[in-house]
Amino acid sequence: MSYVVAISPRVDQQLAAQPEPLRTFITASLQRLGQSPSTITRPSSSLARGQVAEFRYEQAGAVLGVTVRFLYGQDEQTLYIEHISVVFGG
């Protein structure tokens, strides 16, 4: 099932702070998440609510882990992206 991806203002700021082409990779990953969230996510073990998706980004020998925290909308048609984090060596 496909979902509409809704990005919070905080995530919008986080994305704007990322350099290209990492920003493009994260944006594409969010769209892929919206296409099939149940196949690439897991429940968050550290949060009372929410799901987590993790993506791996590699370029020129650098490896980054991108973690996305999101909630399913009550309308069952929207994914609310709450937070992203980028970790070197992920």
CA–CA dist 41, 32 (Å, integer): 11
pLDDT reading at 5 higher than 90: yes
Angle subtended by helix axes 22-35 and 9-16, to nearest 10:
140
Q: What's the confidence (pLDDT) of residue 2?
A: 93
- Of 79, 87, 54, the residue nearest 68 (C-alpha): 54
Domains and CATH numbers, the chain: 4-88 (3.30.2310.20)
Which residues have CB under 8 Å from 50's CB, separation 6+? 43, 44, 69, 70, 71, 82
pLDDT digits (tens, 9 = 90+) for 47-87: 556 788 889 888 888 888 899 999 999 998 999 999 999 99
Q: What's the confidence (pLDDT) of residue 44?
A: 61
pTM (two decimals) = 0.83
